[in-house]
Amino acid sequence: MNNTAQLRLPAQMIDSTEGTAKLLLVKAKAQVGFVPNMYAGMANSPGLLETYLLGYQRFRDESGFTPVEQEVVLLTINRFHGCTYCMAAHSMIADKMSKVPADVLQALRTGEPIRDARLAALSEFTTIMVEQRGNPTTEEFEAFIAAGYSDRDVLEIVLAIAVKTISNYSNHVLHTEVDAAFQAYAWEPRSVATV
């Protein structure tokens, strides 16, 4: 049972809002084909939605990570935070758009080990960065570099953590319902493997 407080803000749609929020929702609908429930909730704070969308796009366009690596980072953060909405949405994106191998996607959804050593190192370091609030040890950092990543990649993970913290935390307090487009990838925190 979810005991997280629920905000009493209405979902915002294109015809129920104005200004920056309206422009962002119009753009989202043009790009995605519909206004995702997450955006409708976040639009109650236009600055929040705009910051999320800008950071997310920068991560997608400029991080230097492949689409598969991007999903590894994003799904690792979503699973750590227990965000049912983002796990469903990014599982669909990972499967249909980013072409994440099925075994890697399954491992990301359940918390099982990833067999691909490089992707496993990326997921492990992302978890370290979230768990330790951006304070990896020198040994953890060197293991990440030894897996073929760079110093800059650490900063791109920080960007992803910032962006996903915005969406994950917003979804928690808004109790965002998973859109029909993502329902086939529904996920619950109990799906996480215990260590």
pLDDT of the chain, 195 residues: tens digit per residue:
478 999 999 999 999 999 999 999 999 999 999 999 999 999 999 999 999 999 999 999 999 999 999 999 999 999 999 999 999 999 999 999 999 999 999 999 999 999 999 999 999 999 999 999 999 999 999 999 999 999 999 999 999 999 999 999 999 999 999 999 999 999 998 744 433
Buried b / exposed e over 19-48, threshold 16 CB at 10 Å, is eebbebbeebeeeeeebbbbbbbbbbbbeb
Q: Alpha helices of the chain — where are they, by DSSP H? A: 19-32, 37-42, 46-62, 67-81, 84-96, 102-110, 117-131, 138-146, 151-174
Q: Which amino acid is at 44?
A: N
Say how many C-beta atoms besides its own lie within 10 A of residue 54's C-beta: 12
Say how many C-beta atoms besides its own lie within 10 A of residue 122's C-beta: 25
Look up the pTM and report it.
0.95
Q: How far is the C-alpha of 149 from the C-alpha of 157, rounded, in Å?
A: 11
Please report the pLDDT score of residue 63 as a whole number: 98
Please report the pLDDT score of residue 2 as a whole number: 73
Q: Are 77 and 69 in contact (CB under 8 A)?
A: no
Please report the pLDDT score of residue 191 as a whole number: 45
Please report the pLDDT score of residue 146 as a whole number: 98
Please report the pLDDT score of residue 114 as a whole number: 98
Least Cα distance to 24 among 44, 9, 1, 3 occurs for: 44
Q: How far is the C-alpha of 50 from the C-alpha of 41, rounded, in Å?
A: 13
Question: What is the DSSP-derived secondary structure letter of residue 178?
Answer: P
Structural domains in the chain plus CATH codes:
16-189 (1.20.1290.10)
Q: Are 144 and 121 in contact (CB under 8 A)?
A: yes
Please report the pLDDT score of residue 193 as a whole number: 43
